[in-house]
């Protein structure tokens, strides 16, 4: 059974939707940022401070190799930059959670922004969002509109996977 892989910009709901997919049964959620934090014993912000973004990206690449060799039938919520620097199709069936920039900003309160070292000046974040959109599209097999409840999006994704299996 292939993994379900969720990609998308920061704040597009990958972890929340991944959890809803896990709650539907049969799969456990793996969140790549959380795995990296647990293994390094540091927050993402602290990792950026100690080894820089390039060091963080190297860890992400190693994690992809490990997950693709060792994990199946999971739902994998990726960090927003993972598919920008790596081919994530090795991980499984890739779904892009396509959400408008304004909705993303609304979802990320100050505390959530603080956790993310690449969040800052809104115009810079918007530029990053615009630059990345086509890359998310190219890396995904399915595009899912983020414009529904997490439960509903999870249901749509699982329905899509089940249909393919039949
Ligand atoms: C990043 C997104 C973050 C985290 C890191 C870098 C990015 O994950 O991996 O701060 O480059 O978009 P989320 O997408 O879960 O916020």
pLDDT tens figures, 60-91: 999 999 999 999 999 999 999 999 999 999 99
Q: Give residue 40 CA to ligand 1 midpoint distance, Å.
A: 16
pLDDT tens figures, 1-11: 899 999 999 99
Q: Give residue 1 CA to ligand 1 midpoint distance, Å.
A: 27
pLDDT tens figures, 99-154: 999 999 999 888 988 999 999 889 999 999 999 999 999 999 999 999 899 999 99
Q: State the pLDDT at residue 20.
A: 98
Domain that holds residue 130: 4-165
10 Å CB burial of residue 54 (0-12, 13-18, 19+) is exposed
Is residue 165 pLDDT above 80, yes or no?
no
Ligand 1: which of 7, 43, 115, 118 to mutate, most ligand atoms within 8 Å of CB?
A: 118
Q: What is the CATH number of the domain that holds 11?
A: 3.40.50.300
Q: How many domains does the chain have?
A: 1
CB distance 13 to 97 below 8 Å:
yes
Q: How many CB atoms lie within 10 A of CB 128?
A: 17
CB distance 117 to 47 below 8 Å:
no
Q: Give residue 71 CA to ligand 1 midpoint distance, Å.
A: 21
Pocket of ligand 1 (CB under 6 A): 10, 33, 44, 79-81, 116-118
Question: Which residues, 6 or more positions from 161, have their beta carbon under 8 angstroms from its beta carbon?
Answer: 2, 4, 93
């Amino acid at each position: 059974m292939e993994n379900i892989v969720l990609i998308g910009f920061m704040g597009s709901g990958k972890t929340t939707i991944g959890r809803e997919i896990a709650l539907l049964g049969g799969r456990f959620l793996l969140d790549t940022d959380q795995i990296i934090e647990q293994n390094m014993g540091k927050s993402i912000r602290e990792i950026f401070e100690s080894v820089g973004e390039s060091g963080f990206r190297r860890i992400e690449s190693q994690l992809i190799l490990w997950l693709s060799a060792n994990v199946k039938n999971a739902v994998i919520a990726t960090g927003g930059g993972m598919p920008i620097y790596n081919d994530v199709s090795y991980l499984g069936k890739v779904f892009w959670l396509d959400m408008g920039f304004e909705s993303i900003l609304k979802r990320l309160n100050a505390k959530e922004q603080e956790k993310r070292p690449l969040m800052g000046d809104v115009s810079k974040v918007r530029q990053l969002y615009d630059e990345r959109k086509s890359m998310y599209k190219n890396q995904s097999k399915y595009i899912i509109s983020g414009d529904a409840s997490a439960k509903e999006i999870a249901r749509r994704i699982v329905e899509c996977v089940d249909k393919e299996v039949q």
